[in-house]
Structure 1
């Protein structure tokens, strides 16, 4: 450095803010809720318990029962011990919420499975015009999963962790007691975190989000994955599929599993078991989506949650017998029966059946009736809900008028069922029987949504052959061949190529499809829905269509918007009241 030049360095002293807030100086509010169910949009809070702690000392508590605005389900009362009689004189959530929000002001919230409790608080704030809390949130479940090993604890349930840390309060599904137990668990976890040089609340939050050692160690598994659309399969040392996913860029997606952005506990656990990633390159994003569904259904990887058991779909069948009835089945057969579905559960299928029975007086007995069968009629005949064909009161011709109406409601016009249920709901609402009206609303929703979905699927699965194209990012065209709702070929036509020979070659190599019975005869409903979403996306053009692609003019799709409106978020004192369908 030349003698004439002088280097001046300004010394800047760091502040305590640069070091973070020591955990001993942080005010935590550890809270717990009891509710009438698991959905913040459909269920209500019955109890709030919160404990304010700082430096290991309790400095305040808040506890109150809450009137949920409706009956508490019996199984919830058995679990929590909270009954309708206990909350009849309790304040409503709109009276309790301001006190709770003031209690947590300026603190860090802590809960066990925090997403559940915070979700209910945010839903209550939205319903009553309060801004959602902006407090930082810590989840003791996430902390436990990062700090504890399987050798120490078989699971991260609150009761299990309370025993491990020998908390002074035992959790019992009551809000304040569970919050007190969570305080003991939090202190035990913070003590463990100290061995990882976690001494500030900022360190603690970063520690939860940081990649695990297994994630850092296995980053090399993404090195040989290409930058292309397709499917990736995480496999263990024996070649068993652990998890299957899809992406438009396989390399980028697989890399993300080894970063801090991947925080799902199940997936982090899966990374610890995985030994390789097998990429399957696909021509288009739609092909990747369909291949993913097929591979998950075939391999049933234990870390995938969705689409593992397509064969367990449930159907509502109008049977083929002299006096048909509505039956819930798990298999679509090649018979003369009429099917509605698929449903995600038996409960939804039963709801749809109840909706149909409200509009059409089909028999509900399960015995097979013949033209010669005679037996005493049930109570439904006495109240006019069944024509009693079992006693011969209703002729086969008269009964088949009801059968034709039910078949039309399942496959075509849903208006009769909608009108019957809407009239019943209006009558129940006028009598302030809101719980019963809500049950009918759910039944109608199960019927209309499934009928609308099935009619959309059937419109495509009836076509023996369809070719469609959409613009590709490369400037060419993505072309797909679909037969009876099943994707049978996919390819990308280069920019400037002549379409006719390319389409002809793709069609010639497409899979041959022999359709089976039912509304989804050649693929799962989920696969056909993927194809439908692509066909309805902007820019898609039909190249070849064999047959007519249409929906019923008075089908269930025209009513689905009114059903969805009834389930839209709403601001009212009781979220359990039935909403009109007008």
Structure 2
């Protein structure tokens, strides 16, 4: 794969061609010394090869514009008289760049040769094309032992691999010898699974041979979006991940790019990789989530028990209170969540009862106080309306409950004002630990409300939507969502095919029964993934049954942004730290620590 006339971006070679298809330019320089900036070239030699065959050579002396040190003349045999009529680097370097255009640069001790070429480009105001560079010294250290060669110098390796020429410190001769050394090294690396350019770029990395050999597991995978499963010899699913390019992503597990220790352990156990190609990246993300929840693979760190996440809802009694529960029916009032953990649910519960003055005692209270009833300590501290003794008459307590329900429905104004005021006061009084506790409780409350509001926004009985496909110009992704569950997805080849594709998708999409509880038709995280897809720029609603997706203008997600601004202005960041950030809704491969990079 080649780039434009003057550049070759390594990122374009992520999947990389097979090595027999790659064109290499093997280069060697002779110079007046070892400093790329203080010294100059005296000779350049380059050989272009493809598939083991030489397709071109370039060799010329270079006028360095200065005297050649005697020691260099003794080493190379190049004298001042020999370079007087030679072209200067201003002519030679552009010629070399054209000769090497679109190729992988190879050199023995590449830092030296490439350093001189880059420095020359800088002096001439040329842009160094930043090609992929392969160092045969680094490759030799990987596969040539001390028993085979006393060192990794070019002469020693040329003898080991029986090069056709003997290196003699002349540029073209040494480049020709390096070609033979390169081919010998590639032959050895092939047994370690280095068969493509992507493998070669990381071949010198410290990856155990047992892991690198497993790279052949990716050879038959398609370059398409989807889900991949690593399985052991018994067929047990070890790990599930998602990728926009299955082959490229799976290959990365066999290189130094994969730094997680447990992944290296997983790769050693893996016997095969099973791909599931999907129509869209959204479908891949949802399938990954479902497979993790279904099979609980031992090497996936998240989403293995999503159905156990706790909720908060109001109890059904005369004086209702927020309570942590395992499920929340559709007719439940004051629903928050689900929460990532019981600890977060508890923190949110404390924040809710404190913000709205709701009771915390677990007794079921009658509409009228029992004779002789006494208030608890919280009432004496002013932190409970004490309806148990009639201190908070039903109308007064009902107003508190109504304010809490309005918050759950999408009005976070009261909570944000209250928390902001408390944080300012506690910070002004230098009560930083209490402020930090208040902050964390408020974050837990707002995140629980934000999740519930997002789930409600995507709960329409049926929704058809489309957006331009991000990787295929002119194509459109079409999705069908039913009760917050992805029922199907497809790709329309052009904008004129979108409605027809949507109609066909509606007929074949999964039949999803109406749920009887919050997030009952899908895992909460799946509905969130779908909801965020619908939020993206460019998405078009094609048809909606019931209420379309819409988040409340004053809802919890907006309040989280506003609270972050408040914290940045009024809270000592070095004492309280940055506000906790939300875990990525869909980290690459289902791993929070992967969130930079998907595959």
Normalising by the residue count of structure 1, what TM-score does the alignment of the two structures yield?
0.60
Deviation at 1:438, TM superposition (A): 1.9
Structural RMSD (CA): 3.0
Instruction: Determine helix, strand or coil for the equivalent of 1:263.
Output: coil
Deviation at 1:326, TM superposition (A): 1.3
Instruction: State the partner residue of 2:397.
Output: 399
Instruction: State the partner residue of 2:501.
Output: 502
Change (3 A) 1:322 1:255: same
- The answer as to whether partners of 1:231 and 1:279 remain within 8 angstroms in 2 is yes
- The answer as to whether partners of 2:228 and 2:241 remain within 8 angstroms in 1 is yes
- The answer as to whether partners of 1:358 and 1:420 remain within 8 angstroms in 2 is no
2:268 is equivalent to residue 269 of structure 1: no
CA distance in 2 between partners of 1:332 and 1:378 (Å): 29
Kindly provide the CA deviation profile for residues 269-307 of structure 1, in whole angstroms up to 9, marking residues without a partner as x: 000110110111111111111100110111110101122
Instruction: State the partner residue of 1:536.
Output: 535
Q: Structure 2: which 5+ residue stretches go unaligned? A: 1-27, 35-201, 580-599
- The answer as to whether partners of 1:389 and 1:399 remain within 8 angstroms in 2 is yes
- 1:51-70 alignment to 2 at 5 Å? none
Instruction: Determine helix, strand or coil for the equivalent of 1:500.
Output: helix
- 1:570-581 alignment to 2 at 5 Å? 574-576=574-576
CA distance in 1 between partners of 2:524 and 2:567 (Å): 24
CA distance in 2 between partners of 1:344 and 1:454 (Å): 13
Instruction: State the partner residue of 2:464.
Output: 467
CA distance in 2 between partners of 1:218 and 1:560 (Å): 45
Change (3 A) 1:548 1:11: closer
Normalising by the residue count of structure 2, what TM-score does the alignment of the two structures yield?
0.59
Instruction: State the partner residue of 2:564.
Output: 564
CA distance in 1 between partners of 2:203 and 2:566 (Å): 42
Kindly provide the CA deviation profile for residues 45-68 of structure 1, in whole angstroms up to 9, marking residues without a partner as x: xxxxxxxxxxxxxxxxxxxxxxxx
Change (3 A) 1:573 1:567: closer
Instruction: Determine helix, strand or coil for the equivalent of 2:301.
Output: coil
Change (3 A) 1:237 1:322: same
CA distance in 2 between partners of 1:420 and 1:10 (Å): 71
Change (3 A) 1:222 1:391: same
Q: 2:291 aligns with which of 273, 289, 295?
A: 295
2:406 is equivalent to residue 408 of structure 1: yes
Deviation at 1:247, TM superposition (A): 0.9
Instruction: State the partner residue of 1:359.
Output: 355
Instruction: State the partner residue of 2:385.
Output: 387
Instruction: State the partner residue of 1:108.
Output: none
Q: How many residues align?
A: 382
- The answer as to whether partners of 2:357 and 2:383 remain within 8 angstroms in 1 is yes
Instruction: Determine helix, strand or coil for the equivalent of 1:521.
Output: coil
Instruction: Determine helix, strand or coil for the equivalent of 1:481.
Output: strand
Deviation at 1:574, TM superposition (A): 3.7
Kindly provide the CA deviation profile for residues 466-506 of structure 1, in whole angstroms up to 9, marking residues without a partner as x: 11111220532211001122110111122376443322111
- The structure having more radius of gyration, on CA atoms, is 2
CA distance in 1 between partners of 2:295 and 2:223 (Å): 25
Deviation at 1:566, TM superposition (A): 4.8
CA distance in 1 between partners of 2:374 and 2:366 (Å): 14
Instruction: Determine helix, strand or coil for the equivalent of 1:278.
Output: strand
CA distance in 1 between partners of 2:431 and 2:571 (Å): 19
Instruction: State the partner residue of 2:492.
Output: 493
Deviation at 1:382, TM superposition (A): 2.1
Deviation at 1:229, TM superposition (A): 1.1
Instruction: State the partner residue of 1:546.
Output: 545
Deviation at 1:208, TM superposition (A): 11
Change (3 A) 1:477 1:368: same
Change (3 A) 1:215 1:481: same
